[in-house]
Each structure stands twice: as C-alpha cells, then as structure tokens.
C-alpha cells in the first residue's frame, strides 16, 4: 500500500509556517519510541484499528531528536476518514548497530516519528 | 509497467470523477494539469537540482533549507505535494533512502519509483543490512564513511544530495547533471565520471 502523495491541506512549501507548531521536544533531546502495539488491539467496531507510521523495529528504542520537521494531520486518523488533529513530526536519529546487531559503529537510522509516539528517555537510557 | 486497466476499473474511476466534479472538489483542468506534471516528473529534475547545488552555494543553501521551494524555483509545481527534504552527503557521511512501510518517494522531482524501491526485499534489507545492499549495487563507500539510512515513514519525501565526484572541475551544469542518476538520488549508487571521459 502506498501513502497518499497528494494532500492539499498542508505541506505545500509551508515549512516556515509548519515549524511554528508547538513542539515538546527540541533538537538534541533524547527520546524513546513508545513500546506500544495498537495494531494488535482491534476496535470494538470491528474496523481496522491502526494505520501506524512508526516502524515496528523502533518500538521501545531510544534516539536523539535531530530536527522538528513541522506539524501534520495524524495519519492514524486520516487513514480512516476521522477528524485528524495536527501532530508535531520529528526527525529522530538512532544508532544502527544496537537495533540490528549489524552495521558498523557510527552507522545510523534517521526516521520520521510523530510526537505522540515519543517520550523522554530516562536517565538510564541516556547513559546507555 | 502495470497491467492495462480493466473496463470495470475505468467505469469505477469515471463514476468517482463525476462525483468529485459534482461536489466541486476537482475540475477537469486540474486533472489535465496534474497528469501533465506527473508525466513531466523524472530524475532529470532531481539531477539538475543537485548539479546546480554543486555550482552555486546560495542555491545549495536553499535546497537544503527547503527542497520544495527550490523545486518550485526550477519550475516544478509542488502544489499538493508533500514537503521535500534534501539529505546532504559529506566526505564522512552517506545517505540511503528507503520507505520500509510502503513506497514513499519524492515523485515530484524523481518521477515514479522503480519497482525495486517498492519491493519487499529492498524495503526490508535497506534498513537491516544496508551495507550488504550497497555492495550488491556495486557501491563501495570509502573507509571511514558512515552510512545513514533514512526511513521515509511519514509526511516528508527525501532525496540525496551526493558529493560532487573528483575530476569534474570546470564542468557545466549540464555536464554535471548527466552524472546524477536516479539511483544516486536515492543513495544506492554514487555519481561517477565515466571511465572514457576520466581517461581523456
């Protein structure tokens, strides 16, 4: 399945405007991707419950905010035609080797993650 | 590329267009314009943006700060397109773009994604064993170069601004743009000076 590549409501050259959205985290903050699996819990309505843009391999992983990319309507609601509030989107940098036990030291993964999927990393995780 | 559309699909499409038109959501002219811009989009646009960035520092700054605005200045209509981010390769850092979830791709400036980009194999392996994937493409990173895989998971689209190859001093924008392939804009390959030219 392909994500919609055509959205008129936002995005068009509007980086400056979008960057003014309120963000909890700043570049340089250590963050943890929430260890949640909403796709495993169908809604009572029987409708599909999840259109999640957070990759499985990052759930529970800790990274560093590299940039605040702007704010976009929540794809988890958009996908089902529900009212979709704006969410802040971050570019988050992860070390690659700890995630896959492969790759060379210094290799990294840079991924777009929405704010409601992030929480502050604990001190223990910061030290790790 | 794809199979011919089935008659029932076309009938379905016509019904959908009629409803969208009746609701005032689209016009026939918008459809024509969008088809034209989709047909025009090709990796040559991205290659031109890269070549210009190699020659013009001010353009490079604009490209890195706001890829969509840079594309607009090249005459590409970005209306309705997602924001475009540009990933700057450095002497010690190489970028590789993948969309592990589906097939997000900067179509406005690269055209249609190739089938391998959408394949399950590329989407799985580019993030898990990117160096093995690069090796299969024949792409050898210099020792000490770090690899950064950019998983295009949400609302941005990403293209790579590769390093300008050595041996291209004094080249024109046209000459440079010809070195920048679609694969180099995704990061699976590097721009290379053809051996026949390098030997001259």
Output the 3-class SS for B51-109: HHHHHCHHHHHHHHHCHHHHHHHCCCCCCCCCCEEEEECECCEEEEEECCCCCCCCHHH
Please give, rounded to a whole number of angstroms, the shortest distance from the CA of A93 to a CA of chain B.
9
pLDDT in tens, B66-122: 999 999 999 998 888 899 999 999 999 999 999 999 889 999 999 999 999 999 999
Name which of A12, A109, A114 is nearest B80 (Cβ-Cβ): A12
Q: State whether residue A35 sits within 8 Å of chain B by CB.
A: no
Q: Is A105 part of a structural domain of the chain?
A: yes
Q: Is A77 part of a structural domain of the chain?
A: yes
Q: Is A7 part of a structural domain of the chain?
A: no
Q: Supply φ then ψ for residue A92, to 5 degrees.
A: -115, 130
Q: Is A104 part of a structural domain of the chain?
A: yes
pLDDT tier at A51 (50, 70, 90 boundaries)? confident
pLDDT in tens, A76-87: 888 888 888 999
Name which of A13, A100, A114 is nearest B72 (Cβ-Cβ): A13
Residues of B annotated as catalytic are 99, 102-104
Map out the domains of chain B with their CATH numbers: 10-38 (no CATH), 42-199 (3.90.330.10)
Q: State whether residue A59 sits within 8 Å of chain B by CB.
A: no
How far is Cα of residue B65 from the mean position of the Cα atoms in its chain?
17
How much is the pTM? 0.86
C-alpha–C-alpha distance, residues A24 and A110, integer Å: 19
Residue A63's contacts (CB-CB under 8 Å, 6 or more residues apart) are A30, A31, A33, A92, A93, A94, A95, A111
Please give, rounded to a whole number of angstroms, the shortest distance from the CA of B102 to a CA of chain A.
5
pLDDT in tens, B20-35: 999 999 998 988 988 8
Record the tokens describing residue B70, joined without a space.
Answer: 């840079």
* Number of CB atoms found within 10 A of residue B57's CB: 9
Contacts of B82 in chain A (CB under 8 A): 5, 7, 11
Q: Provide the domain count of chain A.
A: 1
Range of the domain at A123: 22-127
Instruction: Note the pLDDT of residue B85.
Output: 97
Contact A96 B149 (CB under 8 A): yes
């Amino acid at each position: 399945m392909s994500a919609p590549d055509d959205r008129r409501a936002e995005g068009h050259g509007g980086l400056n405007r979008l960057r003014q959205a309120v963000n909890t985290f700043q570049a340089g903050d250590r963050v943890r991707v929430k260890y949640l699996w909403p796709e495993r819990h169908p809604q009572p309505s029987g409708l599909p419950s999840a259109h999640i843009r957070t990759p499985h391999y990052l759930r529970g992983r800790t990274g560093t905010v590299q940039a605040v990319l702007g704010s976009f309507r929540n794809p988890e609601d958009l996908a089902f035609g529900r009212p979709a509030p704006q969410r802040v989107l971050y570019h988050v940098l992860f070390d690659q080797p700890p995630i896959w036990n492969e790759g060379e030291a210094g290799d990294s993964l840079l991924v777009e993650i929405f704010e409601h999927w992030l929480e502050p990393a604990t001190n223990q995780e910061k030290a790790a | 590329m794809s199979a011919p559309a089935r008659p029932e699909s076309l009938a379905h499409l016509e019904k959908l267009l009629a409803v969208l038109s009746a609701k005032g959501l689209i016009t026939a002219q918008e459809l024509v314009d969008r088809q034209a811009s989709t047909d025009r989009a090709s990796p040559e646009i991205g290659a031109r943006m890269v070549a210009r960035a190699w020659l013009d520092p001010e353009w490079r700054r604009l490209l890195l700060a706001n890829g969509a605005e840079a594309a607009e200045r090249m005459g590409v209509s970005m209306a309705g397109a997602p924001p475009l981010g540009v990933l700057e390769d450095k002497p010690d850092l190489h970028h590789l773009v993948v969309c592990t979830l589906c097939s997000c791709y900067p179509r406005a400036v690269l055209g249609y994604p190739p089938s391998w980009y959408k394949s399950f194999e590329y989407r799985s392996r580019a993030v898990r064993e990117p160096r093995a994937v690069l090796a299969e493409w024949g792409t050898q990173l210099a020792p000490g170069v770090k690899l950064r895989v950019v998983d295009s998971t949400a609302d941005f689209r990403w293209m790579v601004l590769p390093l300008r190859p050595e041996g291209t001093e004094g080249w024109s924008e046209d000459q440079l743009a010809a070195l920048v392939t679609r694969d180099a804009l995704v990061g699976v390959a590097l721009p290379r000076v053809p051996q026949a030219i390098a030997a001259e």
